[in-house]
Structure formats: C-alpha cells, structure tokens
Amino acid sequence: AQSVTQLGSHVSVSEGALVLLRCNYSSSVPPYLFWYVQYPNQGLQLLLKYTSAATLVKGINGFEAEFKKSETSFHLTKPSAHMSDAAEYFCASTAIQGAQKLVFGQGTRLTINP
C-alpha cells in the first residue's frame, strides 16, 4: 500500500533563506509524486509533479524537487524564501499514472519570518 510521510508539521525560515520540506514515500510500484500548496482559505494548487521523465523537477514560484529512489524521498526546496511562500504544503503520490486517487501526507505548515 502507498503511504506518504512528511517530516515536520511546522517549518519556519527567515525571508531569503533556503526552504526545505521533506517527503518520503512508500510504494510497492514506482510512484508518481506531487507537491501541492494550500494558501489560507483556498483549495490546493499543484506546485510540481514527478512522472519519471526527470529526477529533478522544477515547479512554479521557484520551487523544485528531486526524486531519489535510493532514499525513497521527494523533498521540496526553494533557494530563497519569500513572505508569500507562507502556506501549507502537501506531498502526494499515486502508483498509477493519471489515477485520481492521490494519497497525501499530513502536510507541513511553512512560516516565513521577516
């Protein structure tokens, strides 16, 4: 069965600092992996997705993530945090390309300090 674990329910960084949000997956088959962002009182928005084409995936708003099969990880990074990055971030996976049943992690709340 698939599962997704996000390490750290809260992450706080200073404006301009590196953002690193951790995600590990467990899957019996090669997964397809996603990062979604949820701003307050809004729905989820796709940041980026890994579908086996390239291990380093670039997304919107300067975010990127690297798929590491040996570590079963798909961590999200951004070189320089901006105040507008404050939000809840969810890692998700599906074992079947295009399948709509996404399995989400519990989320990481990112706070940006001025």
Partner 1 sequence: DAGVTQSPTHLIKTRGQQVTLRCSPISGHKSVSWYQQVLGQGPQFIFQYYEKEERGRGNFPDRFSARQFPNYSSELNVNALLLGDSALYLCASSPGQMNTGELFFGEGSRLTVL
Q: How far apart are CA 54 and CA 4, in angstroms?
A: 20
Query: Which is nearer to partner 1, 19 or 105 (by Cβ)?
Result: 105
Residue listed under structure tokens 């997704």: 4
Within 42-101, which residues bind partner 1 (CB under 8 A)? 42-46, 49, 51, 90, 92, 94, 96-101
3-state secondary structure of 12: strand
The number of angstroms, rounded, from the C-alpha of 25 to the middle of its chain's C-alpha atoms is: 11
Smallest distance, Å, CB 104 to partner 1? Answer: 3
For residue 15, what are the contacts with CB-CB under 8 A and spacing of at least 6?
A: 81, 82, 83, 112, 113, 114
DSSP calls for 69-104: GGGTEEEEEESS--GGG-EEEEEEEESSTT-S-PEE
Query: For residues 35 and 112, which CB has a smaller minimum distance to partner 1 in the complex?
Result: 35
Is 31 an interacting residue with respect to partner 1 (CB under 8 A)? no
Nearer to partner 1 by Cβ, of 66 and 88: the residue is: 88
CB of 80 to partner 1, least distance (A): 26
Nearer to partner 1, 20 or 46 (CB): 46
The residues of the shown chain that bind partner 1, judged by CB under 8 A, are 4, 9, 32, 34, 36, 41-46, 49, 51, 90, 92, 94, 96-107
